[in-house]
Structure 1
Amino acid sequence: MFSSNLFAIATSLLLATLPSPGRAQSSDACAVVAGKQIATYSEAKACLEHFPYNQTIADETIDIVRKITDDMYIFNEIAAHPPKIDGLSIVPVNISKSLDIIQKEPWKSDRAFQDAVALILDKVHDAHLVYSPHCYRQFIFWQPIQLNSVIRDGKQIVNVAYVKDDLWSEAKKDWTGCEVTHIDDKTAMEMVVNYAVNNNGESKDVNTCFNNIMNSKDYFHGWDDGADDLGYHRFLPDQENHRYTLQCPKNGTKPEEAKYDEPFTVTIPWVAEVPQSFTDADSYWDKYCAVHTSPLSKRSPTFQEDTIEETHIGQSFDFSINSAGTRTRDYTEFLLLDGPDSDIGVIDIQSFSVSSEDKTEFVKNFTRGLQMFEQNNVKKIIFDFSGNGGGDACAGEFFINSFFNSTPDYYSDVKYSPLVETVVEKAFEKQTTKWIDYKSNHSQGAEWFKETTTYDRGNAQTKFSQPVSLSCDSWNNAFADSNAFNTSRWKASDLLILSDGRCGSTCAIVVSRLRLVHDVPALGLGGIRGNRMQFASFPGGESERLSSFLTDLQSLDLLDTPGAPKPFPERADMGWTFREVYRPNLPGTDFGNEKNLLEYNNVAADCRMFYTDENASDPKKLWHQVASLLKNGQCPLVQNGGK
């Protein structure tokens, strides 16, 4: 019911933002907001729209995006003609034709053009496929009320999770817990569901998209750029304010008692947090937009100062900071529940983005956590993967092996292009970069990429490498003397996957293997009531960023190779999936069939629970509820449920 044709989406969205005739502002709108902490929507918009559309910049940007998607984005062909999968919302997106439309339009501003490029890639619903214009991601836009969705009085409602009265003086803390009945004159659930379906590129599962746009204090997601959130953007929202109709609990009653005062309507603006370190439009452009090349090459990569270089990172733009910096959260946390659930342990798996200097400590901490569980006679374990954006695939491999000693390889392949063939050959020659970390059962060295196979993808035939899996030898060597923990103490029936669907990339591959190979049941959390949901998002495989790809080219002396992409003419980065992953345990004859791609499969959760007023802002209460379900056997494995 949520599917539609590309041009019903692309054309309407593009035309809705088409420029009106006129010239760029002559006044310096950025100087007006410089030095402020908070700006109005109109002030922030004026600064972002200050910079005129430049056809040369647009042409160069389009050419780079087109080259990457045509030559290296592994789902480019299938995205244009996707399969119909029950339970998934997949619309056809012909990226090249969409870029043609964008390129022909006389945009009002550079910002409008840049956001149009980002938007069309977002429509593929692959969170690895991202275009991020650094220039126009500096203001942070907030709605002063943040929403979540809970089950109250037997029905699913939209609820005020918390209020940011520090941003807007008219916001009132006592709106917290009020039901939102209407937004912009539509019923709140209708508006939120439509927004999730049409404006969130996080997943092909609408339940995950729904969860991704909603927030509460404890479940605020910080691992993406916030571009798809209902009340938090790093891009310019398309309207200045929204009208909310609220019905609030009567004085002295709790929200769950469903006793309300008369509804009222309030108009709530978008409020912008202003970036610092600029004084006017020229300094803003120089600080956030202009490309500052290094003397190494006329085509040296840029944007490096904002990029944390890691290997095999699943999430294209994972901004977590490693232990050498100021990271504020651990990768995993081991918790013992109390009271009648004292024999239940929770592993809160927050990220697999384990930096190289943290590998040994990660293993030691993980081992100590499992030993603590053994010492406390923990009988069952909840794996909470909610909000995990992925990371190092070898960290995920270590996690699975800690419980099951070994796990079958998940096979994958890479889309063929002459440029990448040159890269792989040079990588093996120089024994450097991630391209030497793949292993094939059929060949040695660079031959895994050169000996190609052709498969049907969409309406096209596409060349791919041989099947490969990821070698974790170098990762494992980092903790060879760490006494890594392996156990058979807990059976699959003693374990439970808990996920709000926002478990992406490496996380998605880990939970898929736990569920499909090792028979660990999965519980889906939240989403739209009445819709069966997945427990993972964007499990497409491995992603690349242009910034890191250019760094590889530089280290391999290939920056000036014919066919190599250039850096963007403005400060920007792009991520894309370059290695596709298949369902685990496939017979050899099923490899290569697009219906077996994990990205285009609906692997549904075995059971489901929802947020309530009681558990929405208290993870411990949520975990106790999950523990009761686990102990009582209320989430049994659904045989063939995800197939």
Structure 2
Amino acid sequence: MFSSNLFAIATSLLLATLPSFSLAQTSDPCAIVAGKPIATFAEAKACLEYFPYNHTIATETIDIVRKITDDLYIFNEIAATPPKVEGLSIVPVNISKALDIIQKEPWKSDRAFQDAIALILDKVHDAHLVYSPHCYRQFIFWQPIQLNSLIRDGRQIVNVAYVKDDLWADAKKEWTDCEVTHIDDVNAMEMVVNYAVNNNGESKDVNTCLNNIMNSKDYFHGWDDGADDLGYHRFLPAQESHKYTLQCPKNGTKPEQADYDEPITVTIPWVAQIPTGFSDADTYWDSFCSVHTSALSKRGPLFEPTVQENHIGQAFDFSENSIGHTTRDYTEFLILDGEDSDVGLIDIQSFSVASEDKEAFVKNFTRGLQMFAEKNVKKIIFDFSGNGGGDACAGEFFINSFFSSTPDYYSDVKYSSLVDNMVQKAFDMKSTKWMDYKSNHTQDADWYTNPVTYKRGNTDVKFSQPVSLSCESWNSAFAGNNAFNTSRWNADDLLILSDGRCGSTCAIVVSRLRLIHNVPALGLGGIRGNRMQFASFPGGESERLSSFLMDLQSLDLLDDPKAPKPFPERADMGWTFREVYRPNLPDTKFGDEVNLLEYNNVAADCRMYYTDENASDPKKLLHEVAALVKSGQCPLVQNGGK
């Protein structure tokens, strides 16, 4: 039996055909909550559980997931028999066997089945691998208290970061800064660590998972629309409420003085924020789950990527942009004040640079570095916290702005006869991204059509020839912009700052900065005393079924018998299709699974934790980081990390 308590990442949505359900209006639980701003857990659950399990839909869904994971997901075999890597939490997940079990289960509702699919993919701890059922991601569930983790009085504790008293009348603002000693009668720190290890699929590093389920005092991290932290879900939580035992500072004392009133225990319910656009179960199904057709293709799916990366402001956005220019907040250049006025911060919020923003991105970045040079900035902090990745060529540009060149990071793609057809047609038709890869050993489509075999787990798996991503078209558009390449700052003048929530392209960028260019890395937060990575899910490159189907359509391959079909309900699936190896170091053997960046632990060189002072004042935290940089207290640790 699989728990319905899963954690899924919001992705773009594929609208696909499904016969409409005609649901009786008698005691319609969706009609009861329609039009309300909030509902109780029980009311929301009744609506979500109202739609019956359909064996035909389940079988079609499982067949599509199985086709993608078996044929296209590059870590499918190694996930079933993963290596043991010190410092990483990796459990074996045989996706095919798990799908067999799910298929045999007599699920009580469609939601329970859909969530079981999402949960098993989440257990691989690869944030690129996700099944997102649109139908059951519409309600937003909140706990009225939000938590963070601090070092207080020499101990790591769970703390009430802030209280959302707009959701629940009994919530009290004075709970803010109370230490949470127990949750559901379990030691609070033990509970949140176990929760992070077992229930957060964002990373194989438990420190990153802990950071991902927590919030800070002054901002909601909002890394993605499917956040799976302790107080915010876009899926049905496992239980209706939680008991919190609070140890609150006496009136007039500061939390760090550790002078407490007698503990109190409060029961905090999950409160559901209700979506708009429906009036009953039938209209809910039609709006969020059911048929939306177009004449776009023979099958009639409307390929509509409707959800983009959602980045909500960084913890360190404490002043106006020093140069007065932003490019949709991709990066900000800030100079610290006071005695740290010779320290600059580049807040790299995202590499998801829209095509129409690329030129402005380069100009903004160049102006920022020129401003740093003019203001005599001597040390630079790269803040990658909360960066979910994006355009690999934007990451390449970032590295080359400080180090005039950097070695290619080589990668490969899992071989399948379907993708073989796609690559050959891509080169014939001069269409789709499958033309964007370059190889030092082959020409045109040969990089894919002449595969090689490597061992993954206990299985021999075919892969493409070694390839790297071509950024020639990206770079050529900015040849006249005189990008700022400088040797003004050396590696020991730079510092990577990361809470570990730096994924995909971001992870590849920071790994190259650290391993090739010797820029030290500082890990922020996490579990005290536990070695921490500064990057997450560096697997390589991901794909979504919605965009994959669009490529198939462009190449006239939608009717290929090996092609996956659209899901029978509105849903999308993401997966890693290109794996990346450690940067091209002398000891890196291409093709060997021990050198896969996804299954390596590249630890931070030094560490900093949240406290009552710096969690309340991001500017203070950044000055603490600046002190480390200026004093040289975060030196590069060879084969180490903390």
TM-score (norm. length: structure 1)? 0.93
Q: Distance in 1 between matches of 2:146 and 2:464?
A: 46
Q: Cα–Cα, structure 1 residues 435 and 209, in superposed 2: closer, same or farther, change >3 Å?
A: same
Q: Deviations over 1:74-126 (max 9, x none)?
A: 00000000000011100000000000000111101000000000000000000
Q: Which residue of 1 aligns with 2:55?
A: 55
Q: Cα–Cα, structure 1 residues 588 and 474, in superposed 2: closer, same or farther, change >3 Å?
A: farther
Q: Which residue of 2 aligns with 1:72?
A: 72
Q: Deviations over 1:464-501 (max 9, x none)?
A: 00000000111112322222111110000000000000
Q: Which residue of 1 aligns with 2:16?
A: none
Q: Which residue of 1 aligns with 2:572?
A: 573
Q: Distance in 2 between matches of 1:529 and 1:299?
A: 53
- Work out the percentage of aligned pairs sharing the same amino acid: 82
Q: Distance in 1 between matches of 2:519 and 2:63?
A: 45
Q: Amino acid of the residue matched to residue 332 of structure 1?
A: T
Give the drift of 1:24: 10
Q: Which residue of 2 aligns with 1:138?
A: 138
Q: Distance in 1 between matches of 2:30 and 2:627?
A: 55
Quick check: 1:302–1:571 contact (8 Å CA) kept in 2?
no
Q: Which residue of 2 aligns with 1:469?
A: 468
Q: Cα–Cα, structure 1 residues 164 and 128, in superposed 2: closer, same or farther, change >3 Å?
A: same
Give the drift of 1:561: 1.2
Quick check: 1:547–1:573 contact (8 Å CA) kept in 2?
yes
Quick check: 1:288–1:571 contact (8 Å CA) kept in 2?
yes
Q: Which residue of 2 aligns with 1:324?
A: none
Q: Which residue of 1 aligns with 2:525?
A: 526
User: Would you say 1:636 and 2:635 are equivalent positions?
Assistant: yes
Q: Amino acid of the residue matched to residue 91 of structure 2?
A: V
**Secondary structure of 2:229's partner?**
coil
Q: Amino acid of the residue matched to residue 436 of structure 2?
A: D
Quick check: 1:300–1:554 contact (8 Å CA) kept in 2?
no
Q: Deviations over 1:223-266 (max 9, x none)?
A: 32334211100000000000000011111111111111111000
Q: Choose between structure 1 and 2 for higher RCO, CA contacts under 8 A separated by at least 6 residues.
A: 2
Give the drift of 1:294: 1.4
Q: Distance in 2 between matches of 1:244 and 1:493?
A: 45
Q: Cα–Cα, structure 1 residues 300 and 393, in superposed 2: closer, same or farther, change >3 Å?
A: farther
Q: Deviations over 1:545-566 (max 9, x none)?
A: 0000001111111111121000
Q: Amino acid of the residue matched to residue 188 of structure 2?
A: A
User: Would you say 1:500 and 2:496 are equivalent positions?
Assistant: no
Q: Deviations over 1:436-468 (max 9, x none)?
A: 000000111111001111000011000000000
Pairwise CA RMSD: 1.9
Once the two structures are superposed, the pairs formed by residues 439-588 of structure 1 within 5 Å of their partners are 439-587=438-586
Give the drift of 1:329: 5.5
Quick check: 2:606–2:641 contact (8 Å CA) kept in 1?
no
Give the drift of 1:26: 5.5
Q: Amino acid of the residue matched to residue 178 of structure 2?
A: C
In structure 2, runs of 5+ residues without a counterpart are 7-22, 313-325
Q: Distance in 1 between matches of 2:476 and 2:41?
A: 52
Q: Deviations over 1:110-163 (max 9, x none)?
A: 000000000000000000000000000000000000000000011100000011
Give the drift of 1:374: 0.6
Q: Which residue of 2 aligns with 1:7?
A: none
Quick check: 1:24–1:52 contact (8 Å CA) kept in 2?
no
Q: Which residue of 2 aligns with 1:405?
A: 404
Q: Cα–Cα, structure 1 residues 389 and 459, in superposed 2: closer, same or farther, change >3 Å?
A: same
Q: Cα–Cα, structure 1 residues 328 and 151, in superposed 2: closer, same or farther, change >3 Å?
A: farther
Quick check: 1:133–1:572 contact (8 Å CA) kept in 2?
yes
Q: Cα–Cα, structure 1 residues 215 and 508, in superposed 2: closer, same or farther, change >3 Å?
A: same
Quick check: 1:343–1:378 contact (8 Å CA) kept in 2?
yes
Question: How many residues matched?
Answer: 613
Give the drift of 1:28: 1.1
Q: Distance in 1 between matches of 2:298 and 2:291?
A: 12
Q: Which residue of 1 aligns with 2:254?
A: 254
Q: Which residue of 2 aligns with 1:268?
A: 268
Q: Amino acid of the residue matched to residue 145 of structure 1?
A: I
Q: Which residue of 1 aligns with 2:12?
A: none
Q: Cα–Cα, structure 1 residues 305 and 410, in superposed 2: closer, same or farther, change >3 Å?
A: closer
Q: Cα–Cα, structure 1 residues 353 and 589, in superposed 2: closer, same or farther, change >3 Å?
A: closer
**Secondary structure of 2:481's partner?**
coil
Give the drift of 1:588: 8.6
Give the drift of 1:346: 0.5
Q: Distance in 1 between matches of 2:364 and 2:254?
A: 41
**Secondary structure of 1:590's partner?**
coil
In structure 1, runs of 5+ residues without a counterpart are 1-10, 17-22, 309-317, 322-326
Quick check: 2:211–2:526 contact (8 Å CA) kept in 1?
yes
Q: Which residue of 1 aligns with 2:13?
A: none
Give the drift of 1:291: 3.1
Q: Amino acid of the residue matched to residue 131 of structure 1?
A: Y
Runs of 4+ with deviation above 6 angstroms: none
Q: Cα–Cα, structure 1 residues 238 and 24, in superposed 2: closer, same or farther, change >3 Å?
A: farther
Give the drift of 1:307: 4.4
Q: Amino acid of the residue matched to residue 136 of structure 1?
A: Y
Give the drift of 1:626: 0.3
Q: Distance in 1 between matches of 2:311 and 2:220?
A: 14
Q: Cα–Cα, structure 1 residues 477 and 567, in superposed 2: closer, same or farther, change >3 Å?
A: same
Q: Distance in 1 between matches of 2:354 and 2:464?
A: 28
Give the drift of 1:169: 1.1
Quick check: 1:301–1:551 contact (8 Å CA) kept in 2?
no
User: Would you say 1:207 and 2:207 are equivalent positions?
Assistant: yes
Q: Distance in 1 between matches of 2:219 and 2:428?
A: 46
Deviates more, 1:151-160 or 1:284-293: 284-293
Quick check: 2:39–2:274 contact (8 Å CA) kept in 1?
yes
**Secondary structure of 2:566's partner?**
coil
Quick check: 1:300–1:559 contact (8 Å CA) kept in 2?
no
Q: Amino acid of the residue matched to residue 505 of structure 1?
A: S
Q: Distance in 1 between matches of 2:242 and 2:173?
A: 18
Deviates more, 1:586-595 or 1:570-579: 586-595
Q: Cα–Cα, structure 1 residues 637 and 320, in superposed 2: closer, same or farther, change >3 Å?
A: closer
**Secondary structure of 1:614's partner?**
helix
Q: Distance in 2 between matches of 1:622 and 1:24?
A: 56
Q: Which residue of 2 aligns with 1:195?
A: 195
User: Would you say 1:612 and 2:598 are equivalent positions?
Assistant: no
Q: Distance in 2 between matches of 1:347 and 1:292?
A: 43
Quick check: 1:300–1:567 contact (8 Å CA) kept in 2?
no
Q: Which residue of 2 aligns with 1:5?
A: none
Q: Distance in 2 between matches of 1:182 and 1:256?
A: 19
